[in-house]
Structure 1
Amino acid sequence: MPYNAQFTPIPTLLPPPKSAQWKDGFLDWNIARFEADSRGMPAGEHVCSQTDNSIAHDQGYYLKISEDGITIKSRTESGARLAFQTLRQIALQSDERGMRMVEISDYPDLEVRGFMLDISRCKVPTMNELSRLLDKLALFKYNRLELYTEHTYAFSGHEIVWADASPMTKSKYARLQKLCDFAGIELVANMNGLGHMERWLRYPQYAHLAESKAPFIDPLGTVRKFPTTLYPDKSALDFMDGLYAQFLPNFSSDKINIGGDEPWELGMGRSKERCKNEGKYRVYIDHILGLRSLCAARGKKEIYFWADVLMQNAEYSKLLPEDMIPVLWGYYLDHPYEEQCSKMRELGRTFLVAPGTNTWNSFGLRWDCALGNIKTACDCAKKYGAKGMILTQWGDGGNHQPWCAMMPPIALAAAQAWSGDIPEDKVCTALDKLVFSDSTGEFSRSLCALGRVDPVQKLRCFHHKMFFASGKEAETAAKEYTPAKFDEMEAALDFAMSLAATSKMRCRDAEICLCEVALAAEMIKWAIARARGDFYVSTTQQQVSLKFIVSEFARVWLARAEFGGLTESLDRIKKISPEIFAV
């Protein structure tokens, strides 16, 4: 059948390839059939996969679909795997005539294109959900996965810490490692070893490891009921070495992220005198060097760490060996990636950038913030020679955001890291064709619209803050916006929901995606109603709505995640009006 551009649009590929020459005509499915072999490599009777050392980039590939079949050329297996994902994308958008003929030459701008999922803020996904996520990451050509871990691993002898968390286990990691190997994604260990240790330090048996006592107010203005930072001495290193002994054998990768971010109490308690005499940054550097030695002794050759403390005095990087790689993280629109990346190049450091999905502390996402943050991070990474990008998906405050809301940032970051700027409409088109299977092309647009309900793109959405605020805090927060702004927010929410309502998804999780968005809308409406004057949740209508939210939140949660952490996340909601949940 002759090609007719009017009725046969060019397949949408994400990330967009460097060069794609689409031809008239289709390769019949009798010839076009392909699959992944036992190693995840492209295979098929009419698939010719060749090693070609003339391809300059290790992850580069050449793909040709012609009347003779499918030809793949690559320098490495990585390139062949990436070509396979391009084939998958074309096949997913093909009809009964077969696959559109094309010649593609492609390679990524950034070597590392990673995704980090927070599994320590209440929500641990089921293995089935992790498998589905991994498939989408591979489809969009991500090549690294990290699961951010504080306490969510079943450490022997430390059951009290993870008993209610539905943690990852040795068998789960074994399965995940196999899935990652098949998908061509490197599974990298990620576990904090200085700050963010409150899941441990809240228990008396670990109190001797704490830098100081609690409560205290962190730099974000949050009252912390438990200590969060280890006292940096040999006991802390011995403790971490015991955890590494159990945790690190789960990973075949020779890389690890040792954390090191936000050690808020450092220098405020037991290390105060030492920090005064030696300098706070020197004490910090000595501790992460200690962690590095422990990990190196266990076979790790690249030691990544969050760079927020280092960037306060970047000259201290001269004390760090080359195998320690800073990860520059920042999620605001105005995060100084230009300045920080420039400094890393000046110092001759290998480094990564880490923008965010900007879904946490919201009931949807902060889409415009994500757009700008991801673009700036990736642009600066390329300009100053970063090794790559890792997109972070956090769960601060209880992980109340819809799971599906992270898909637009995931798609966007994939494109930005691989090939550069991409219009929002192409991100949405790719998602609707490749993830949601939405023939109307509306569901991904509904997620983006949901991410614009709050016109002020701060790191905590107004409606999220309003929802959880205490009575006095709610009165103060409500004054941030006028009644007219509340009207605008409700209109924006109605628009987002109208798009979701007209969508016709055929993906396996279509129903739960719609339920997640509907629940998010209910929570935003509840917050806006509260902002209009009912600060103390006194109306019967709001109480009924809150009970529904709690019930639906639990149902939606369990569709994708384990039970562990659900009670804690729900308790934050119930705390708003505990009397209506009293038995």
Structure 2
Amino acid sequence: MSILNKLYPRPRGFQLTGGRSSLGTAFAVTARDEEMKRWADGINMERRLSAALNRIAGASIGQTSSKDAAVTVTKVELACVSGIHPQGYSMTWEGGLLRIEASARIGLHYAVLTAEQLLERSGLEWEHFHIEDEPDFPVRGFMLDIGRNKIPKMDTLFGLIDTLSGLKINHLQLYMEGYPFSYSAYAGLFPDATPITAKEYEELDAYAASRFIDLVPNQNCLGHMGDWLAKPELRELAEHPDGMSPPIPLPFKLPPTTLNPTDGRSLELVKTMLDELLPLFSSAYANINMDEPFGLGTGSSKARAEQIGVGKLYMEYADKVIGLVQKHGKKTLMWGDIIAKHPETLPLLPADVTVLDWNYDNYRSFEASARRLQESGVPYYVCPGTSTWAAITGRTDNMLDNIADAARCGAAFGAGGFIITDWGDSGHWQTLNASYPGIVYGAGASWQAERNIEEIEGAEQYISDVILKDSTGSIGKLLFELGRYYRLENSSLDNMTYTSYLLNRGLSTQEKLETETNAMMELYKEIGARGGPFLLDYRYAEMLNWLSSRKQQLEQVQLNLPDANTVVEELKLSVALIEQGVGLHRCVYRIELPDDAAEQALVVQLKEQLEQTIHEFERLWLLRNRAGGLARSTKALYKLLGQYEEKLKAFAEASQME
């Protein structure tokens, strides 16, 4: 296999120059100029290369003495060359000498990452080559939702930063709604929370910066404020303090989730948050989100909306929040969904605002919004997703299409950045393992779209070789396949799998399920999603075969990681959740259930399986994540367990009456 196939993301330019030769058992780094020497020392270049060498060759760091006959030296020559992209580099290996050129310290860092990966994946013998490399997008990011239930422990976050760094990702956000950060003024409102502390955020910021990753503070400031507005002390700050009726007739109200932008206390709440959060970060940016303010201009702010329009009402409030960010010397990032609905707001955006253009579905493209933003002159990033939320193990084909489209359109229409999002909808049941396909494929697409969009096998193999270190080389492909069970559901549900929806929805009759699902589809249409009548062409027998195959494959992987058992157990748990959904579908649609006795036997089986699944869910959650939020995440599973118990009780009562 060519050495090129051992690199991911694939570099922009790569040429084999003929021949191959072995590296030595130590490195000697020299620089042509003082600036390059400072860069090399600053990124610990020689130590990093030696450590990578040690991992594969067993040599001791720094053993370069000519008296030791077992030590041979590979010379590394560095040069600072103007004209190379700041994040770019060139690298040449002709045997005996590795030449690296860069124009900035970060470019040298990326060159070292490339060399480290070659050592880890190709060993000590390299084909001779020349690389010319630079990224398509200056900002290549990942956003992890920590605002809905799942707040990772510090070791988990440090490990995530290491994974992102190896993929040349340079931007990280931890999305916040609710209380995932310990705002001191409001700790009493959230007594059961286990938030990230100020000290921990400072540690994360420094750790990320040491790996050339910009950790950007993130706090929603208008919509998605449901956890705050549920508190009696803050309820009157809501646009709809008593909740709001859905835009279509449904037998319930939506809880308050949006701040009233005309109430000065709303801005005071946000100011208190930002004043405590933003100083902890070295980043020049802050994300205020401002997305999905449901009911804006229809409740407490209705009079102002009727006076100036909903779009200008939104911008009137946004300007004030942006001003708070500016007082901290930072530039603003914010989502573009409301701006897209109200294009008259585009000229009102301050010059230091970057719009985050999001889309997570493969049935629509980034092209129209990207073109409009480019024509308006507004800086923007494209933001696709991992497609793992509300899906357990993902929707792989949707993810691939969504990320590829974002990369193509972003590159074509001048996007300044590319952020892969990983949300926590429907309990945040997906593990980070399930999100690796989206993270890795997105990293490749954002580094160099033309080279990496078609490199699905390269992304699969990177996961196997580098992230999970599977000696069988199969787990990367397996993770991509685990996100394809939804194709056997053939469901028209938007932005989720039917299995995830069913597990969250619970035990029901077929008629009631389809009635409620059709109502939800109508609600989707009202908020701009695909909507339409609920369609389902479920392949039950094929799903059983799919589950059997995935279980067999999981038994075969051999991970060389300290937490190898945990990784496999997490994936088995994910399969068990899907299997529970398959059984629940069988129960609802009465597949192969000729009588009550057969149905009762199935419910007994599902109940026992679910009890085991919940136990494993809770055990594995606590290995990587904080306890706060776990009860909310498992709430739907416990509800389903209770429904099974009620069903069995009804069977028992019916039997006694006979």
Superposition TM-score, scaled by structure 1 size? 0.92
Aligned residue number for residue 40 of structure 1: 43
The offset of 1:89, in angstroms, is: 1.1
Q: 1:186-240 CA deviation, whole Å, 9 max, x = no partner? A: 1111111000011111101112311112443557989666311111132211221
Q: Is the 8 A contact 1:398 1:568 kept in 2?
A: yes
The offset of 1:509, in angstroms, is: 3.0
2:551 to 456, 473, 497: 497
Aligned residue number for residue 559 of structure 1: 623
2:96 to 60, 65, 68: 68
With over 3 angstroms needed to count, the CA separation of the structure-2 counterparts of 1:433 and 1:76, relative to structure 1, is same
Q: Is the 8 A contact 2:506 2:639 kept in 1?
A: no
Distance 2:189 2:291 in 1: 21
What is the DSSP-based 3-state SS (H/G/I as helix, E as strand, rest coil) of the residue aligned with 1:190?
coil
Aligned residue number for residue 521 of structure 2: none
Distance 2:155 2:645 in 1: 32
**1:375 is aligned to 2:409:** no
1:280 to 310, 318, 326: 310
What is the DSSP-based 3-state SS (H/G/I as helix, E as strand, rest coil) of the residue aligned with 1:515?
helix
With over 3 angstroms needed to count, the CA separation of the structure-2 counterparts of 1:480 and 1:334, relative to structure 1, is closer
Alignment of 1:540-579 (within 5 A): 540-578=604-642
Distance 2:208 2:252 in 1: 39
Alignment of 1:20-59 (within 5 A): 20-22=14-16, 24-32=19-27, 39-43=42-46, 46-55=75-84, 57-59=85-87
**1:256 is aligned to 2:320:** no
Q: Which moved more, 1:112-121 or 1:101-110?
A: 101-110
Q: 1:446-472 CA deviation, whole Å, 9 max, x = no partner? A: 111111111147411011112222444
Superposition TM-score, scaled by structure 2 size? 0.82
The offset of 1:540, in angstroms, is: 1.2
The offset of 1:325, in angstroms, is: 1.2
**1:111 is aligned to 2:119:** no
Alignment of 1:405-416 (within 5 A): 405-416=434-445
1:322 to 331, 351, 359: 351
The offset of 1:158, in angstroms, is: 0.3
Aligned residue number for residue 219 of structure 2: 191
Distance 2:643 2:544 in 1: 28
Aligned residue number for residue 334 of structure 1: 363
Aligned residue number for residue 36 of structure 2: none
With over 3 angstroms needed to count, the CA separation of the structure-2 counterparts of 1:474 and 1:89, relative to structure 1, is farther
What is the DSSP-based 3-state SS (H/G/I as helix, E as strand, rest coil) of the residue aligned with 1:448?
helix
- Give 5+ residue unaligned stretches, structure 2: 30-38, 48-61, 63-74, 515-533, 591-598, 647-658
Q: Which moved more, 1:65-74 or 1:289-298?
A: 65-74
With over 3 angstroms needed to count, the CA separation of the structure-2 counterparts of 1:94 and 1:162, relative to structure 1, is farther
Aligned residue number for residue 182 of structure 2: 154
What is the DSSP-based 3-state SS (H/G/I as helix, E as strand, rest coil) of the residue aligned with 1:391?
strand
1:310 to 332, 339, 342: 339
What is the DSSP-based 3-state SS (H/G/I as helix, E as strand, rest coil) of the residue aligned with 1:175?
helix
Report the residue type matching 2:104 in the other structure. Answer: T
What is the DSSP-based 3-state SS (H/G/I as helix, E as strand, rest coil) of the residue aligned with 1:576?
helix
Alignment of 1:416-495 (within 5 A): 416-420=445-449, 421-455=453-487, 456=490, 458-472=494-508, 477=513, 480-481=535-536, 485-495=539-549
1:208 to 236, 249, 258: 236
Distance 2:183 2:211 in 1: 27
Q: Which moved more, 1:215-224 or 1:535-544?
A: 215-224
Distance 2:636 2:329 in 1: 41
The offset of 1:315, in angstroms, is: 2.8
What is the DSSP-based 3-state SS (H/G/I as helix, E as strand, rest coil) of the residue aligned with 1:158?
helix
**1:527 is aligned to 2:581:** yes
The offset of 1:33, in angstroms, is: 8.0
Distance 2:382 2:395 in 1: 19
Report the residue type matching 2:121 in the other structure. Answer: Q
The offset of 1:378, in angstroms, is: 1.1
The offset of 1:72, in angstroms, is: 2.2
Distance 2:7 2:159 in 1: 19
Aligned residue number for residue 8 of structure 2: 14
What is the DSSP-based 3-state SS (H/G/I as helix, E as strand, rest coil) of the residue aligned with 1:171?
helix
**1:88 is aligned to 2:116:** yes
Which has more helix, going by share of residues? 2
Distance 1:419 1:541 in 2: 49
Distance 1:158 1:66 in 2: 61
Distance 1:162 1:168 in 2: 13
What is the DSSP-based 3-state SS (H/G/I as helix, E as strand, rest coil) of the residue aligned with 2:468?
coil
CA RMSD of aligned residues (A): 2.5
Distance 2:418 2:150 in 1: 24
The offset of 1:101, in angstroms, is: 4.5
Aligned residue number for residue 517 of structure 2: none
What is the DSSP-based 3-state SS (H/G/I as helix, E as strand, rest coil) of the residue aligned with 2:98?
strand
Q: Which moved more, 1:62-71 or 1:384-393?
A: 62-71
Q: 1:421-452 CA deviation, whole Å, 9 max, x = no partner? A: 23322211121111111122211111111111
* Larger Rg belongs to: 2
Distance 2:583 2:172 in 1: 40
Q: Is the 8 A contact 1:475 1:531 kept in 2?
A: no
Distance 1:211 1:556 in 2: 39
The offset of 1:526, in angstroms, is: 1.3
Distance 1:235 1:543 in 2: 48
Alignment of 1:217-232 (within 5 A): 226-232=255-261
Q: Which moved more, 1:137-146 or 1:488-497?
A: 488-497
With over 3 angstroms needed to count, the CA separation of the structure-2 counterparts of 1:246 and 1:222, relative to structure 1, is farther
The offset of 1:260, in angstroms, is: 0.4
Aligned residue number for residue 71 of structure 2: none
Q: Is the 8 A contact 1:360 1:393 kept in 2?
A: yes
Q: Which moved more, 1:249-258 or 1:22-31?
A: 22-31
> Percent identity of the aligned residues?
29
The offset of 1:41, in angstroms, is: 4.6
Report the residue type matching 1:325 in the other structure. Answer: T
Distance 1:345 1:294 in 2: 27
The offset of 1:580, in angstroms, is: 6.9
The offset of 1:367, in angstroms, is: 0.3
Q: 1:299-330 CA deviation, whole Å, 9 max, x = no partner? A: 11x21100000001223110111111111101
With over 3 angstroms needed to count, the CA separation of the structure-2 counterparts of 1:224 and 1:250, relative to structure 1, is farther
Report the residue type matching 1:248 in the other structure. Answer: L
Aligned residue number for residue 165 of structure 1: 193
**1:510 is aligned to 2:537:** no
Q: Is the 8 A contact 2:90 2:131 kept in 1?
A: yes
Distance 2:642 2:343 in 1: 47
Q: 1:515-570 CA deviation, whole Å, 9 max, x = no partner? A: 11111111111111111125799621111111111100011111211111111111
Distance 2:547 2:350 in 1: 50
What is the DSSP-based 3-state SS (H/G/I as helix, E as strand, rest coil) of the residue aligned with 2:377?
coil
With over 3 angstroms needed to count, the CA separation of the structure-2 counterparts of 1:139 and 1:312, relative to structure 1, is same
What is the DSSP-based 3-state SS (H/G/I as helix, E as strand, rest coil) of the residue aligned with 1:292?
helix
Alignment of 1:339-354 (within 5 A): 339-354=368-383
Distance 1:575 1:124 in 2: 23
